[in-house]
C-alpha cells in the first residue's frame, strides 16, 4: 500500500454519533525517526469508551481534539524498525488510533506473541477488555462458590469473561444481553446458568425469577434501565463493580432516571459495595498475572470468546455506531489489512 489512511474526529456528536462526526483522510505513509517503529495496522479494536472521548465533557482522560485520529488500540506489524528492540515482521499492540499506518516509540508498544491463540485475542479476551473483566472480578467482585453473579452487556468481551470467571469460581451466573441469539450463546456456548434479553417485557420480574437467591455481585457494564431492576435484588454485602455505563454514553438526558435515593438507601441498609474502576489503575499490579492465569485457559479452550469482525478501516464508524446500540455480537474488531 502506498498511502496511509486515518479516520479523524470531524465534529462532536450531540447524542448518538453519526457518520458526519468522522472523516477519512489519506496521506503519505509516515517516516519513522531514529528509535521509532513504522507499524501497519492489521486489526483495530472498537471500544465503547471512545464515545466518551468524542465529547468535550470532563472525564478521566482528555477528549480527542477535532481533526485528530479517533482513539483505538491495534494489533500491527512492524514494517520498518529504527529501534534495536523490534525487528521488521514483529507484531505489536499499540494505541495508535484509527489508522492504517503509524510511527510509534517502542515503549508505546507491547509485543504480541504469535502461536497459542489467534492474534485478534490480544485485543479482546487477552487484551484490555479481558483484563478489565479479570481485575473487576478479582479486586472488587471476588466471587465465591454458591453466590449469584449478574452481568450486563454479557455477550461482549468484558461481560462474557466476567461470567466465565464467575463460573470458574463456583458461582451461579445470569447474563443480561440484547437479543435471544446472544442469550442462547451465553448459556449454550459459555456455560452461563441463565440469560435474559434486556428488551424483555417486565424485565424486573423476569430478572427476579432468574435470581431466586438474590444477587451477590452485579457487574455493571450498562447502567440505564437495568440498574433499577437489579437494585432490589442485591443481597447484603453485595458487590457492584461499576465498569461501564454504555446506556448513558450517548445521552445525558437519561441521567434523571437512576433511582439515586433508592440506591443510597440500599447501599446503607444492605452494606453494599459499589466501586467504579478504570482497568489501567490496576495494570502494573495485575496485568502479568492476568496473562499468566487467563492465557492458558484461552489457549486450551476452557475460556471461550466470540469476535465480530468487519472488513476495512472505512467500516469503523458505522460499526462503532452500531456497537453503541448493541448491534455487535462479540468483541468488535476491524480487519484493516492481511497479516
Ligand X SMILES: NC(=O)c1ccc[n+]([C@@H]2O[C@H](COP(=O)([O-])OP(=O)(O)OC[C@H]3O[C@@H](n4cnc5c(N)ncnc54)[C@H](OP(=O)(O)O)[C@@H]3O)[C@@H](O)[C@H]2O)c1
Spell out, one character per residue from 269 to 308, where the chain touches ligand X: x when CB under 6 A holds, - when not. Answer: --------xxx-----------------------------
Min separation Cβ 35 and ligand X, Å = 30
Residue closer to ligand X by CB (options 29, 187) is 187
Q: Per rule CB under 6 A, is residue 241 in the interface with ligand X?
A: no
According to CB under 6 A, which residues from 181 to 200 bind ligand X? 182, 198
Task: Report the C-alpha gap between 255 and 147 in whole angstroms.
Answer: 31
The answer to whether 74 touches 94, Cβ cutoff 8 Å, is: yes
Stretch that binds ligand X, among 17-25, 70-78, 210-218, 243-251 (CB under 6 A): 243-251
Torsion angle of C-alpha atoms 117, 118, 121, 125, degrees rounded to 10 = -40
According to CB under 6 A, which residues from 7 to 46 bind ligand X? none
Min separation Cβ 176 and ligand X, Å = 7
Total site size for ligand X, rule CB under 6 A: 32
Quick one: cell of 238?
453485595
Among candidate residues 212, 173, 216, 226, the one with its CA nearest the CA of residue 195 = 173
Q: Per rule CB under 6 A, is residue 97 in the interface with ligand X?
A: no
According to CB under 6 A, which residues from 245 to 264 bind ligand X? 246-247
Min separation Cβ 31 and ligand X, Å = 33
Dihedral angle sign, alpha carbons of residues 187, 191, 192, 194: positive
Question: From the CB of residue 187, how many other CB atoms can be counted at a distance below 10 Å?
Answer: 15
Residue closer to ligand X by CB (options 103, 259) is 259
The answer to whether 19 touches 110, Cβ cutoff 8 Å, is: no
Question: From the CB of residue 201, how many other CB atoms can be counted at a distance below 10 Å?
Answer: 7
Stretch that binds ligand X, among 150-158, 200-208, 209-217, 261-269 (CB under 6 A): 150-158
Min separation Cβ 118 and ligand X, Å = 18
Min separation Cβ 249 and ligand X, Å = 7
Q: Per rule CB under 6 A, is residue 230 in the interface with ligand X?
A: no
According to CB under 6 A, which residues from 113 to 142 bind ligand X? 129, 132
Residue closer to ligand X by CB (options 158, 166) is 158
Q: Per rule CB under 6 A, is residue 333 in the interface with ligand X?
A: no
Residue closer to ligand X by CB (options 16, 260) is 16
Residue closer to ligand X by CB (options 295, 326) is 326
Stretch that binds ligand X, among 59-67, 75-83, 207-215, 220-228 (CB under 6 A): 220-228
Residue closer to ligand X by CB (options 9, 50) is 50
The answer to whether 3 touches 27, Cβ cutoff 8 Å, is: yes
DSSP bridge pairs for 37:
81, 104
Find the binder of ligand X among 106, 130, 244, 317 (CB under 6 A): 244
Interface residues toward ligand X, by CB under 6 A: 47-49, 129, 132, 152-153, 155-159, 177-178, 182, 198, 221-222, 224, 226, 243-244, 246-247, 277-279, 323-324, 326, 328, 332
Amino acid at each position: 500500500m502506498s498511502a496511509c489512511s486515518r479516520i479523524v474526529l470531524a465534529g462532536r456528536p450531540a447524542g448518538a454519533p453519526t457518520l458526519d462526526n468522522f472523516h477519512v483522510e489519506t496521506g503519505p505513509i509516515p517516516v519513522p525517526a531514529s528509535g521509532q517503529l513504522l507499524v501497519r495496522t492489521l486489526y483495530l479494536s472498537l471500544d465503547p469508551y471512545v464515545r466518551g472521548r468524542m465529547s468535550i465533557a470532563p472525564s478521566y482522560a482528555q477528549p480527542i481534539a477535532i481533526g485528530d485520529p479517533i482513539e483505538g488500540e491495534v494489533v500491527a506489524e512492524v514494517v520498518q524498525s529504527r529501534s534495536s528492540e523490534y525487528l521488521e515482521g514483529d507484531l505489536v499492540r499499540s494505541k495508535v488510533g484509527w489508522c492504517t499506518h503509524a510511527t510509534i516509540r517502542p515503549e508505546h508498544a507491547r509485543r504480541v506473541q504469535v502461536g497459542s491463540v489467534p492474534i485478534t485475542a490480544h485485543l479482546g479476551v487477552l487484551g484490555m477488555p479481558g483484563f478489565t473483566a479479570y481485575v473487576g472480578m478479582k479486586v472488587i467482585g471476588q466471587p465465591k462458590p454458591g453466590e449469584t453473579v449478574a452481568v450486563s452487556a454479557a455477550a461482549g468481551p468484558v461481560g462474557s469473561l466476567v461470567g466465565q470467571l464467575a463460573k470458574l469460581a463456583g458461582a451461579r451466573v445470569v447474563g443480561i444481553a440484547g437479543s435471544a441469539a446472544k442469550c442462547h450463546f451465553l448459556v449454550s456456548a459459555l456455560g452461563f446458568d441463565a440469560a435474559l434479553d434486556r428488551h424483555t417485557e417486565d424485565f424486573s420480574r423476569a430478572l427476579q425469577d432468574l435470581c431466586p437467591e438474590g444477587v451477590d455481585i452485579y457487574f455493571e457494564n450498562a447502567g440505564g434501565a437495568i440498574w433499577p431492576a437489579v437494585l432490589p435484588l442485591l443481597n447484603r454485602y453485595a458487590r457492584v463493580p461499576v465498569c461501564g455505563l454504555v446506556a448513558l454514553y450517548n445521552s445525558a438526558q437519561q441521567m434523571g432516571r437512576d433511582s439515586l435515593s433508592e440506591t443510597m438507601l440500599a447501599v446503607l441498609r444492605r452494606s453494599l459495595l459499589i466501586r467504579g474502576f478504570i482497568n489501567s489503575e490496576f495494570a502494573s499490579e495485575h496485568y502479568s498475572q492476568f496473562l499468566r492465569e487467563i492465557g492458558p485457559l484461552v489457549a486450551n479452550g476452557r475460556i471461550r470468546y466470540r469476535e465480530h469482525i468487519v472488513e476495512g478501516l472505512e467500516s469503523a464508524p458505522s460499526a462503532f455506531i452500531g456497537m453503541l446500540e448493541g448491534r455487535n455480537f462479540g468483541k468488535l474488531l476491524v480487519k484493516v489489512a492481511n497479516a
